[in-house]
Structure 1
């Protein structure tokens, strides 16, 4: 979604509004965000952060990477995953979003909003494949991506529910299968992940690999890279 003005001008407008109306700055920022089509300022800033971070992440992706994209709710991990797919599509790569959370209509709406207005941006947004089947698991994803060209980028939404249904293999087995497939095929796979509630930003600014919420046993060393987000900051690091 394109903003009506650069973000520094929007912040200046919010400060003037807060001063003239005698309201808290955070309330003025949220008001400005709603005028721009966002429910609150944190969502607007998360989208901006995702736009710049995704380019850095795509630039550091190697064919065959298995990447964790992790953060607490509302910190922008889903936006980052979708923006990564948009950037991949702009780069001429196949881009696929596997989601157990969104309907296809919801996912398409978010992707088009991130892409912005204009026929060219709409075409890029619509080039991102969306897969919403309840059968999504490592086996399903591997079958869907069989024969995909090296450099294809896929994002899975999200790690902790891949084995929610008992008929699906344990999460650890699925992550291992995805890693083996990524290395063999050259497909780069990003996996959105929740952060454990025990993470306290008062102790450290950003979560790390030790803060991943794991209801079931997973060898996180199977991932090659990780990107952690919190409070508008992010860090990309090697895992394996």
Structure 2
């Protein structure tokens, strides 16, 4: 990999989905979260399944056990914004970007932040998620200094169970040059057997980005063994995949760790 661009920050709060912080003064809150947010989210999913509740209702219930009014209140507490504008400024039309990190490092906020930056610049954006409900995505927008009311005219949040490369291409086809497409997250694209294998989907997405001038940002998990490596950032070899895939299909890769972001050119 070449062309590393490192964004450093002077402080970092380890909160799920809140990772790479800006250089503003650290926010202070009297309320603390006793359990990592990704574990709370898992609890909510189990509760929703067991009690046959909508996920957003279960998330609110779990948040209330932590002393918060609702899940959006919990997510806003201690939230900080990633350097989305800095990263977005390095993403030219037609780029296919991998954003990879362990849970809690800021992948989702970085992706959402890039979508918001595109809207602020007069463009359009899509956020395709197989991970979050629409209400949760709306609450996360607060953490990147935005609000759903401000972006909904030019940003689409899609939580369909059928999300895959073909679905994304169908929904985003015909959009403006430079449209930002965020996919949350990579490992879920081929979880249904009716979808093509992940390698085929990545090739289709890369071709679509090049043909349309879209900016596609795919979020990815990193293997749990990475923290023990002692390295400052993950690498392509640390990306957790169920089956081998040629990750050089991506044209750039951004790795997040402990409040820092490293952007590499792959092609």
TM-score surpassing 0.5? yes
CA shift at 1:108, angstroms? 1.8
Is 1:109 the counterpart of 2:123? The answer is no
Aligned partner of residue 136 in structure 2, secondary structure: helix
Q: Which residue pairs with 1:170 in the alignment?
A: 197
TM-score (norm 2): 0.70
Q: Which residue pairs with 1:210 in the alignment?
A: 237
CA shift at 1:148, angstroms? 1.4
Q: Rate the CA distance shift 1:134–1:199 in 2: closer, same or farther, 3 A.
A: same
Q: Which residue pairs with 1:232 in the alignment?
A: 259
2-side partners of 1:98 and 1:200: how far apart? 28
In the TM superposition, what are the counterparts of 1:24-39 in structure 2 within 5 Å?
Answer: none
CA shift at 1:103, angstroms? 1.5
Q: Rate the CA distance shift 1:232–1:140 in 2: closer, same or farther, 3 A.
A: same
CA shift at 1:7, angstroms? 5.0
Is 1:219 the counterpart of 2:246? The answer is yes
Aligned partner of residue 225 in structure 2, secondary structure: coil
Q: Which residue pairs with 1:189 in the alignment?
A: 216
Q: Which residue pairs with 2:179 in the alignment?
A: 152
CA shift at 1:105, angstroms? 2.0
1-side partners of 2:146 and 2:264: how far apart? 29
Q: CA RMSD in A?
A: 2.9
TM-score (norm 1): 0.78
Q: Which residue pairs with 1:86 in the alignment?
A: 116
Q: Which has the higher helix share?
A: 1
- Contact residue 112 and residue 122 of structure 1 kept, 8 A: no
- Contact residue 118 and residue 124 of structure 2 kept, 8 A: yes
- Contact residue 96 and residue 217 of structure 2 kept, 8 A: yes
Return 5+ residue gaps in structure 1 as ranges. Answer: 1-5, 15-26, 28-33
| CA radius of gyration, larger in | 1
Q: Structure with the greater relative contact order (CA < 8 A, sep ≥ 6): 1 or 2?
A: 2
CA shift at 1:113, angstroms? 4.6
CA shift at 1:8, angstroms? 3.4
Deviation per CA, 1:103-122: give whole Å up to 9, x if none.
222212222453347xxx83
Return 5+ residue gaps in structure 2 as ranges. Answer: 1-22, 35-67
2-side partners of 1:230 and 1:66: how far apart? 21
1-side partners of 2:158 and 2:199: how far apart? 22
1-side partners of 2:235 and 2:222: how far apart? 9
